[in-house]
């Protein structure tokens, strides 16, 4: 707050809604703009193992509920952190779309938005550009799902970051800035 921030992004953990965190937010006047679930190999939207996909679905759903409680508008979703791709990319994208669609199924059209984050090649193999994220968003086909841009990852993966942003401007809902 002393640095002028009015809102922050929190890790979507059980402690994020703890009484002490909520008191600290109220005391400083800082809001929560977004949540980022803690992803792991056990929670993977694209994995062939249904148990891992279900764990990812449940984590996203719980994060959306937590975001609603904290007044956050966005839940950042990274479909997979695996860098090794499977033989069938389209199957992975299909499983990812199903998993995220199931996480938002039955929710009202209003409320926190899932923002699909593209990472770089050193962190994922599946969604690495804003175009990849947009293709996935279209496949999910839900008003609760949007795209986010992270300029750190874009600097590595996008041939033309300005064009990439322009191409997804209609579905862009969140941006992470970075500097070195």
- Say if CB 45 and CB 96 are below 8 A apart: yes
Alpha-carbon distances, residue 21 vs 85, 117, 171 (angstroms): 38, 26, 31
Per-residue model confidence (pLDDT) at position 13: 84
Per-residue model confidence (pLDDT) at position 180: 63
Per-residue model confidence (pLDDT) at position 86: 80
Q: What's the whole-model pTM score?
A: 0.93
Per-residue model confidence (pLDDT) at position 36: 92
Q: What is the mean pLDDT of each run of 10 residues along the chain (180 residues)?
A: 92 83 90 90 94 96 92 95 88 97 93 96 96 98 97 96 97 89
Q: How far apart are CA 100 and CA 46, in angstroms?
A: 10
Residue 98 DSSP SS3: helix
- Ramachandran region, residue 160 (left: φ > 0; alpha: ψ -120 to 50; beta: rest): beta
Cα dihedral 26, 30, 36, 40 in deg (nearest 10): -70
Distance in Å from the first CA to the final CA of the chain: 23
Longest dimension (CA), the chain: 51
pLDDT digits (tens, 9 = 90+) for 98-143: 999 999 999 988 899 999 999 999 999 999 999 999 999 999 999 9
């Amino acid at each position: 707050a002393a640095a002028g921030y009015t809102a922050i992004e929190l890790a979507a953990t059980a402690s994020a809604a703890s009484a002490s965190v909520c008191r600290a937010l109220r005391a400083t006047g800082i809001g929560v703009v977004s949540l980022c679930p803690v992803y792991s190999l056990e929670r993977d939207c694209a994995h062939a193992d249904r148990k891992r996909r279900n764990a990812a679905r449940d984590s996203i759903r719980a994060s959306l509920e937590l975001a609603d409680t904290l007044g956050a508008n966005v839940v950042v979703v990274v479909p997979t952190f695996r860098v090794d791709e499977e033989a069938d990319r389209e199957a992975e994208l299909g499983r990812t779309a199903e998993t995220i669609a199931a996480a938002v199924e039955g929710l009202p059209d209003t409320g926190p938005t899932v923002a699909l984050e593209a990472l770089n090649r050193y962190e994922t193999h599946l969604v690495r550009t804003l175009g990849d994220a947009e293709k996935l968003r279209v496949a999910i086909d839900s008003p609760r799902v949007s795209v986010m841009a992270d300029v750190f990852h874009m600097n590595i993966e996008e041939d033309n970051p300005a064009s990439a942003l322009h191409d997804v401007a209609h579905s862009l809902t969140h941006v992470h800035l970075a500097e070195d």
